């Protein structure tokens, strides 16, 4: 195992500028401080309901962006962070933008790639995974192309790993997560599929666990069909205490897994038959909620108890919703109601304990960004620049319709009562004056 742990300087827009504060950490993860898209109550009460890019209503500032990327912003202290890349993948960057003014403080070159693998998918790019943030550390991840820890106060690289490699085939997508002293990474390529944990301070590997999935995709000669395309996934896992066991819940192609988070030991598996899994799991009371991805796009309810060992597909799956399920945007749980949206805009409210629909409606556009929930409001954004604000309740109700002038593929972030939205070409701060 090789890795570089030297303090390497990166190019910055202006090294002479005084460094903004790095604490408190408002939005440490693409899905917020609780990793589930829920905005803290004190922030939710101050978020704008409406905005208008043409009139400037509630638009505090906007900043033009170079390069491209799907990664969602994280926010700590005065700074907003997210990654970007050249269209051809030869250079990968991290942006650091002052959240008060929109001024670009950092546009740091993190990695250069001589011959990036072709994406094979017009929807993806070379900066799809989102960073994660602590008060003294920013972790950026570009899949097989590299992972690094940066000092958010200086923009310097603390360590990097470029030796954890797979063939993504259609580009990387799984984001890192933090748990204790670990940075946990997910690699579901066409050639290898595994989960690994690094020491967040040094970058050294703590454990690595291969998937044990029977993909059922071998041809007569024993080779994976479709070049292994049915083996890949874009999932970001979460850690839950399930019946007293700290469990990393990770959804791969064809199966979901529970791992002991401290060791990576496989505890249980649920066979689901889908691939391209991308949606984080959720827990509602004693039910674990899993989305399976594409092809067989289902939502599953899995009973949580002390008997979760081995293959629990037949024993613990208590409901299986078979149609019109989310495959890219994360679901969000508000109280005892689960809300999810398909790529095509079908939004569903359901009871996650019984697996029953409460209501179902259609919104316009393609929905790739994960929604957020702020109190009794749900914010859904699409590829047309539209954000619809719905009531998070048992009846369908549109509270507001807002439009920005470009496509959105990143999830919004929240800090100090303001909404930060990354579009294809700009970053917006939306706040009530």
pLDDT in tens, 33-87: 999 999 999 999 999 999 999 999 999 999 999 999 999 999 999 999 999 999 9
Query: 3-class DSSP state for residue 226?
Result: helix
What Å distances lie between residue 223 and 176, 192, 211, 218, 252, CA to CA?
A: 30, 14, 17, 5, 20
Show the tokens assigned to 419.
């909404």
Higher confidence at residue 5 or residue 389? Answer: 389
User: What is the reported pLDDT for 295?
Assistant: 74
What would the pLDDT profile of 241-289 be if each residue is shown by its tens digit? 999 999 999 999 999 999 999 999 999 999 999 989 999 999 999 999 9
Mean pLDDT over 120-126 rounds to 87
The class that CATH gives domain 25-430 is: mainly beta
Do the beta carbons of residue 5 and residue 158 sit within 8 Å? Answer: yes
Q: What is the CA radius of gyration of the chain?
A: 21
Higher pLDDT, 202 or 322: 202
pLDDT of residue 19: 62
* Residue 311: strand pairing partners: 269
Q: What angle do CA 235, 240, 246 make, to 5 degrees?
A: 115
* Region 395-402 average pLDDT: 98
Read off the tokens for 64.
Answer: 């033009």
Check pLDDT > 90 for residue 18.
no
Q: What does the domain layout of the chain look like in residue ranges?
A: 25-430
pLDDT at 227 over 90: no
Instruction: Output the pLDDT for position 293.
Output: 86
In the prediction, which pLDDT does 14 show?
A: 37
pLDDT score at 228: 87
Predicted confidence (pLDDT) per residue in 182-222, tens digit: 999 999 999 999 999 999 999 999 999 999 999 999 999 88
Lowest mean pLDDT among 48-52, 143-147, 223-227, 320-324: 223-227
**Which residue's entry shows tokens 């017009």?**
122
């Amino acid at each position: 195992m090789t890795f570089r742990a030297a303090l390497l300087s990166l190019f910055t827009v202006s090294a002479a500028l005084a460094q903004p504060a790095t604490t408190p950490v408002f939005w440490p993860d693409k899905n917020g401080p609780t990793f589930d898209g829920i905005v803290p109550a004190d922030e939710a009460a101050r978020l704008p309901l409406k905005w208008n890019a043409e009139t400037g209503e509630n638009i505090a500032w906007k900043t033009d962006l170079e390069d491209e990327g799907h990664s969602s912003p994280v926010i700590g202290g005065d700074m907003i962070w997210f990654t970007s890349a050249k269209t051809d993948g030869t250079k990968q960057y991290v942006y650091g933008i002052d959240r008060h003014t929109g001024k670009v403080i950092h546009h740091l070159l993190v990695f250069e790639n001589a011959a990036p693998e072709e994406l094979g998918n017009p929807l993806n790019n070379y900066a799809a995974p989102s960073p994660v943030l602590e008060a003294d550390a920013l972790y950026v991840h570009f899949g097989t192309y590299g992972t690094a820890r940066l000092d958010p106060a200086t923009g310097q690289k603390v360590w990097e790993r470029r030796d954890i490699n797979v063939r993504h085939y259609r580009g990387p997508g799984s984001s890192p997560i933090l748990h204790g002293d670990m940075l946990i990474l997910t690699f579901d390529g066409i050639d290898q599929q595994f989960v690994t944990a690094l020491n967040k301070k040094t970058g050294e590997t703590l454990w690595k666990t291969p998937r044990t999935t029977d993909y059922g995709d071998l041809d007569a000669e024993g080779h994976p069909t479709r070049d292994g395309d049915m083996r890949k996934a874009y999932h970001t896992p979460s850690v839950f205490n399930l019946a007293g066991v700290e469990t990393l819940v990770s959804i791969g192609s064809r199966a979901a897994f529970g791992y002991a988070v401290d060791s990576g030991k496989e505890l249980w598996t649920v066979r689901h038959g889908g691939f391209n899994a991308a949606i984080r799991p959720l827990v509602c009371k004693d039910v674990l909620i899993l989305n399976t991805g594409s092809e067989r796009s289902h939502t599953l309810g899995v009973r949580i108890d002390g008997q979760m060992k081995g293959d629990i597909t037949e024993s613990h799956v208590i409901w299986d919703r078979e149609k019109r399920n989310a495959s890219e945007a994360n679901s969000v749980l508000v109280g005892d109601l689960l809300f999810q949206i398909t790529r095509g805009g079908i939004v569903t409210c359901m009871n996650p304990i019984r697996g029953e629909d409460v209501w179902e409606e259609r919104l316009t556009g393609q929905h790739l960004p994960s929604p957020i929930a702020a109190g009794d409001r749900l914010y859904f954004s699409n590829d047309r620049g539209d954000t619809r604000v719905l009531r998070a309740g048992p009846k369908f109700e549109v509270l507001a319709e807002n439009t920005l002038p470009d496509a959105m593929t990143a999830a919004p972030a929240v800090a100090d009562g303001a909404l930060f939205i990354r579009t294809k070409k700009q970053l917006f701060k939306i706040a009530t004056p």
